[in-house]
Structure 1
Amino acid sequence: MTAGIVDIVIDTPGERVANDYFDSIGLTDEWIRRRTGVAARWWMDPEVPLEDVAARVCAPLVARHGERVDIAALVVVSSSTGGKVPGIAQRVAKSAGLPTEVLAFDMNAACSGFVYGLITGLSLCRPAGAVIVCAVEAMSRLIHKNDRNTGCLFGDGTGAVLLEDRPEFRESSWHAGCDGDRADIMRGEIGGGIQLDGMQVYDRAVRTMSDTVKRLHADGIKSDVIIGHQANTRILQKIREEADIGDAVFVDCVEQFGNTSAASIPLALGTCVAEQSIPKAGRMTLVAYGAGEAWGGVTLDYDLTDATSPRPA
């Protein structure tokens, strides 16, 4: 597979919620920052359809590239859409301006969803073709906001990337896995809140993501950028210590967004592009761990030289 990331759009619609929101339940800003790294998160209006939010980041990619390349597929990743049938991908495709011939489908792999979507999208890229992978999450609709264990952790947001097959891109690689016997250590549903076994999640997240980075770099080809699922700064710091990352830029944007599940990696990547804190082109490794239990990582080339506006107009 010689496709890579060539453009990105991200968005955090709704209200920015700082840590002082949780003063009433006895969680201070200092405590939340020390335990999680989170300073604020964004919560959407609960009445806004997720397909509208997703279409807002996909539409600029279609407008910028739709006449230049054949966008053959759209993968929409989410664990917070609420409904089962129909999914939202077809409505996102229509609203974003994609033709009716496009392959569009939903995917749910919890916090690993964007990585799973990328692996799938890379396999769908044809020569001189392109695929959009979009992650959209409204975790505020799953949590109980006054839950001292989980209320302060999660935020909302969306991001979409364009994968394009280019001759100058090198082969991508991926590693993924799952263990259904551990499904109970993280679970949640609309209206039911989120329950998680904090210690098990921490240990498993560090172990699986560190191991995945090592496996992906075993061929000796190092990445310029490493972005892990933005769940918790302490988890990211431990991965940075245990994985062999060399001189790669290791990204931590937890402070700005909290845990946005599948949307966390594209939000972090788009933020780096906007802040010009990573090379404009090179190779990156993206790695995630989430409920299911599911984990995975992908290493691929990218060229974001022209991605100067990662936020929709």
Structure 2
Amino acid sequence: MPGHPRRPKAVGVLGCGHHLPHDVVSNEPVAAAAGVLPGWIESRTGIRARRVAAEDEAASDLAVLAAERALANAGVSASALRLIIVATSTPDSPQPPTASLVQHRLGAANAAAFDVNAVCSGFVFGMETARRMIADGGLALVIGVDVYSRILDPADRRTAVLFGDGAGACVLGPVPPGRGIVSVGLSTYGGMHDRIRVPAGGSRIPPSKESLLAGEHYFTMDGRGVREFVTDELPRAVHLFLRDNGIDGADVRHLVPHQANLRMLEEIVPSLGLPRADVHYTVEDYGNTGAASVPVTMSEAGERFREGDLVLLAAFGGGMSIGLALLRW
């Protein structure tokens, strides 16, 4: 008789870690370059400081340090990994994938490694990719890392005041039934692709003297359009996601949102329908760290999670995109 298909194993977070660059940059120098007052930055964004990578630090350097801490926290050796996914929109270089550099430096010779780019939603997109790829067993390392300081125009107050550099990582692997990743919801809104972008540096506008002079290699953002997107789409996405999974919002114990802008989050979180959730923030001290913001915040908040707690990750970013993940801790 034919055998029954093997049921996918429960996959969950075995350990997390993060790394922020040593250099702390306050609002004063950022405000001076952007032509605003330091108090304006905090009043509009809630950000007091951010970390900035040193000149000799790239995305892979931050990723490796976060990965080592995640592996140590999980009690896992790099050689045991089956998969490494690096979520970033600021790789070391267009080629090779930053994940291959991370794999090499960790000594994870048994792991396949590749990058994903869903901008600030990238970590959740990477987590779901990893979950499906190890559903039959094995261990995966998912890293979110960005070094936005390399692509910001210091004079652009719409972007320069918001971002910092950092990396966060989680080890995924088998967990007991009923625990781990309950469900993930990924959405892309391609009609809004122009709200966040770096116009040049790819095959559409390759690097040239003209593109450099025009500032087309800088990160650009339609701030009002992004806020409208998050305000309109994130609450709708969260409500539908919880409904489709049969979850009452009151049962969610922790919310880890993308750390885009504290003031914006303070306005939007009440509309998500999570009356009992503790909301975890790191944006005040680290700024918006792109794909790193969710794993960095989860890594810092993890000691407050208790067995059985429902944890909701809510990421959003360029594309536009939304990544939601519900975990039973």
- The structure-2 alpha-carbon separation of the partners of 1:95 and 1:68, relative to structure 1 and needing over 3 Å to count, comes to closer
How far did 1:155 drift? Answer: 0.4
Which structure 1 segments of 5+ residues have no match? 303-313
Matched with 1:301 is 328
Alignment of 1:124-139 (within 5 A): 124-127=133-136, 129-139=138-148
Give, in whole Å, the separation in 2 of the partners of 1:66 and 1:161: 11
Q: Is the 8 A contact 1:225 1:284 kept in 2?
A: yes
Alignment of 1:120-269 (within 5 A): 120-127=129-136, 129-168=138-177, 169=179, 172-188=182-198, 192-218=217-243, 219-221=246-248, 222-269=251-298
Which one-letter code corresponds to 2:281 in the other structure?
D
Using the size of structure 2 for normalisation, the TM-score is 0.84
Q: Does 1:41 align with 2:46?
A: no
Give, in whole Å, the separation in 2 of the partners of 1:58 and 1:94: 12
Q: Does 1:95 align with 2:105?
A: yes
SS at match of 1:101: coil
How far did 1:6 drift? Answer: 2.0
Matched with 1:2 is 10
Which one-letter code corresponds to 1:242 in the other structure?
S
Give, in whole Å, the separation in 1 of the partners of 2:289 and 2:71: 24
Using the size of structure 1 for normalisation, the TM-score is 0.88
Q: Which one of the candidate residues 75, 99, 114 is aligned to 1:65? A: 75
Q: Is the 8 A contact 1:283 1:300 kept in 2?
A: yes
- The structure-2 alpha-carbon separation of the partners of 1:23 and 1:199, relative to structure 1 and needing over 3 Å to count, comes to closer
Is the deviation greater in 80-89 or in 153-162?
80-89
How far did 1:282 drift? Answer: 2.3
SS at match of 1:129: coil
How far did 1:234 drift? Answer: 2.2
Q: Is the 8 A contact 1:177 1:296 kept in 2?
A: yes
How far did 1:34 drift? Answer: 1.1
Give, in whole Å, the separation in 2 of the partners of 1:46 and 1:40: 19
Which structure 2 segments of 5+ residues have no match? 1-8, 202-211
Deviations 1:50-72 (A, max 9, x none): 21221112124445533599421
Q: Highest CA radius of gyration, 1 or 2?
A: 2
Structure with more strand by fraction: 1
Structure 1 stretches of 4+ with a deviation exceeding 6 A read none
Identity %: 27
How far did 1:252 drift? Answer: 2.2
Give, in whole Å, the separation in 2 of the partners of 1:251 and 1:47: 31
Is the deviation greater in 215-224 or in 242-251?
215-224
SS at match of 2:139: strand
Give, in whole Å, the separation in 1 of the partners of 2:297 and 2:181: 23
How far did 1:128 drift? Answer: 5.0
RMSD of aligned Cα (Å): 2.2
SS at match of 2:301: helix
